[in-house]
């Protein structure tokens, strides 16, 4: 969907029952999408969010994005009942695993932040590629470009989300299908609501609203841009990291030490 206009389109948003996904669903409906599908493992909340959308066709779907067969069935159902999917936002995510985490944290983070995007790509992309149009967006995180110092499973798997989105954009970007990778820092959602003031995510500063993320997504879709940075300063942080890795690591160690001091105080 390069130079995207939402008018008349069909959009699916996973993790759409809350936070960023909900803001995207509401914005797409307000921009004139014909059909908006709110897919979430919490089917009741997905239905409630869908019910409030101002579009012609709305559907709340109970969907676990880590279940490949369920993702295939959801794609089949949306395309047969509502119409061809123009925009798939692979957005569901989990805040999992403090520190190095347990094996179960790694397993969950890998399945939600990497395999879920693989399943979505397997089931929805061939249809878009065959039609020569559509847009596939992955919600990663600034943690996937930089790091999130509180949790290794989250940071490492979000790097995986970014890498997969890049791979897909290279492999299929000439097909007429557009690709985007959304990489916010802190956003005020239920995910960050439980974080203390000493959290590394909040310490990074700039807690923004989900509606601001939706603004950034709309602008990027209109421009057909891959990387979506609702916090523009992340581009500079990424440049610094790439430019002098040792200096960047030293700066991050200082920030880590500051946070530890704050925690002990």
Ligand X SMILES: NC(=O)c1ccc[n+]([C@@H]2O[C@H](COP(=O)([O-])OP(=O)(O)OC[C@H]3O[C@@H](n4cnc5c(N)ncnc54)[C@H](O)[C@@H]3O)[C@@H](O)[C@H]2O)c1
Closest among 227, 210, 230, 200 to 21, alpha carbons compared: 210
**How many of the other CB atoms lie within 10 Å of CB of 193?**
8
Instruction: Lay out the site mask for ligand X across 42-71 (x = CB under 6 A, - = otherwise).
Output: x--------------------xxxx-----
**How many of the other CB atoms lie within 10 Å of CB of 40?**
28
237 is a catalytic site residue: no
Question: How far apart are alpha carbons 115 and 67 in whole angstroms?
Answer: 9
Catalytic residue among 136, 154, 179, 237: 154
Question: How far apart are alpha carbons 148 and 101 in whole angstroms?
Answer: 13
We find the least distance from the C-beta atom of residue 39 to ligand X, in angstroms, to be 7
* Residue 92 interacting with ligand X (CB under 6 A): yes
Question: How far apart are alpha carbons 262 and 244 in whole angstroms?
Answer: 27
* Residue 150 interacting with ligand X (CB under 6 A): no
CB 97 within 8 A of CB 183: no
- Residue 125 or residue 137: which is nearer to ligand X going by CB? 137
We find the least distance from the C-beta atom of residue 107 to ligand X, in angstroms, to be 12
Placement of tokens 């004139």 in the chain: 32
Instruction: Lay out the site mask for ligand X across 217-256 (x = CB under 6 A, - = otherwise).
Output: ----------------------------------------
- Residue 147 or residue 250: which is nearer to ligand X going by CB? 147
* Residue 189 interacting with ligand X (CB under 6 A): yes
SS3 call for 16: coil
- Residue 25 or residue 55: which is nearer to ligand X going by CB? 25
Among 190, 254, 255, 257, binds ligand X (CB under 6 A): 190
Residues involved in catalysis: 154
């Amino acid at each position: 969907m390069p130079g995207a206009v939402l008018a008349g389109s069909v959009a699916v948003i996973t993790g759409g029952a809350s936070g960023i996904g909900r803001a995207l669903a509401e914005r797409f409906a307000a921009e004139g999408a014909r059909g908006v599908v709110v897919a979430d493992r919490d089917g009741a909340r997905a239905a409630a969010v869908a019910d409030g959308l101002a579009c012609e066709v709305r559907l709340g779907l109970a969907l676990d994005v880590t279940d490949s067969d369920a993702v295939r069935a959801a794609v089949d159902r949306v395309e047969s009942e509502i119409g061809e999917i123009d925009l798939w936002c692979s957005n569901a995510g989990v805040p999992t695993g403090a520190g190095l985490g347990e094996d179960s944290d790694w397993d969950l983070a890998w399945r939600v932040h990497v395999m879920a995007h693989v399943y979505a790509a397997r089931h929805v992309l061939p249809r878009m590629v065959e039609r020569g149009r559509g847009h596939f967006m992955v919600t990663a995180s600034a943690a996937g470009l930089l790091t999130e110092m509180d949790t290794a499973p989250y940071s490492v798997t979000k790097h995986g989300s970014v890498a997969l989105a890049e791979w897909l954009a290279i492999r299929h970007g000439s097909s007429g299908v557009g690709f985007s990778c959304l990489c916010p820092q802190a956003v005020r959602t239920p995910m960050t609501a439980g974080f203390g003031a000493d959290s590394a995510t909040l310490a990074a500063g700039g807690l923004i609203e989900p509606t601001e993320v939706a603004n950034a997504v709309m602008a990027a879709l209109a421009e057909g841009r891959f990387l979506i940075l609702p916090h523009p300063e992340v581009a500079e942080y990424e440049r610094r990291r790439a430019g002098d890795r040792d200096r960047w690591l030293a700066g991050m160690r200082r920030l880590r030490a500051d946070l530890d001091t704050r925690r002990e105080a």
